[in-house]
Amino acid sequence: MNFNLRKIYYLLSPNFRLIVRRVYFLPSDIVNSFRSNKEYLLPPKGLIFTGLGNFLKQGETFLNYFIELGNLKPDNYVLDIGSGIGRMAIPLTRYLSKEGKYEGFDIVKKGVNWCQKKISPKFPNFNFQHIDLKNSLYNLSTEQDASKFKFPYKDNYFDFVFLTSVFTHMLPNDVENYLFEINRVLKTSGICFVTFFIDPVDSIDFKNQNKNFKFLYDKGNYILMDEKVPEANVAYKFDYLQNIIKNSGLRIKSKHFGFWSGRSKSDSLDFQDILILEKI
């Protein structure tokens, strides 16, 4: 998205952004509703609020990352933080066995509702919850603070936790709390797959390399793209991330930098940076 268009988009309220997208894609969604296979899981384009690009292809790509980088197994208990409208859950329905279990939560109710209606009836081991937390990009209808949120799951319950494009829209206190909660619900040696925008430390000037994706407001440990909508996009300093990850009881097992900051696509795994964390 063009940088100026992105700024205009962020001026809209979260609810109005959803309405605009729904109206824009309504004609094609009506046509596709007559063409599509009713047994095939795919939300209408007008309901998708998580990222750009090919919805199904992105989900399949990340499933491969989960398996290859995170050693995800079919019988694992999996937690999807920021489950959206099923972008990652849909491919997982074809990978997780009946012995496996999927739990997902999100702060956008429309996405959770669609997943509860379309996915859970076909796959009873897939469960979705709506959690009403405040976020300047996605939800202004509550004052509930993510920095105080306790995940609704037992200690040492999950083998694998993942967050795709979640910490890129969260501020430090919220991220720190989530990391402690991730450590709490993960089994020992469990894996957390998480994406970030990490401030490059290898002399790449990310403020200028990508003209349509600029972080302009340096806040010390993190940098914002938009001060009026702080959670629109957040980039973190790597030293800070290392410290809070260690303090939470996790360790960085591997890192894979993305091309968002101007790195070559051929030298990058994906758009965002990926960290593979392990519970010590």
All domains in the chain, ordered by first residue: 51-279 (3.40.50.150)
Q: How far apart are alpha carbons 76 and 189 in whole angstroms?
A: 13
Inter-axis angle of helices 172-185 and 238-247, nearest 10: 40
Q: What is the DSSP letter of 10?
A: H
pTM for the structure as a whole = 0.91
Residue 3 confidence (pLDDT): 65
- pLDDT tens digits along 243-269: 999 999 999 999 999 999 888 889 899
Mean pLDDT of 127-136: 97
For residue range 186-200, what is the model confidence (pLDDT) as tens digits?
Answer: 999 999 999 999 987
Question: What is the predicted pLDDT for the residue at 35?
Answer: 61
Q: Which whole-number Å values give the CA distances from 93 to 40, 51, 90, 143, in the listed order?
A: 12, 21, 5, 34
Cα(277)–Cα(244) distance, integer angstroms? 12
Q: From the CB of residue 100, how many other CB atoms can be counted at a distance below 10 Å?
A: 19
pLDDT exceeds 80 at position 210: no
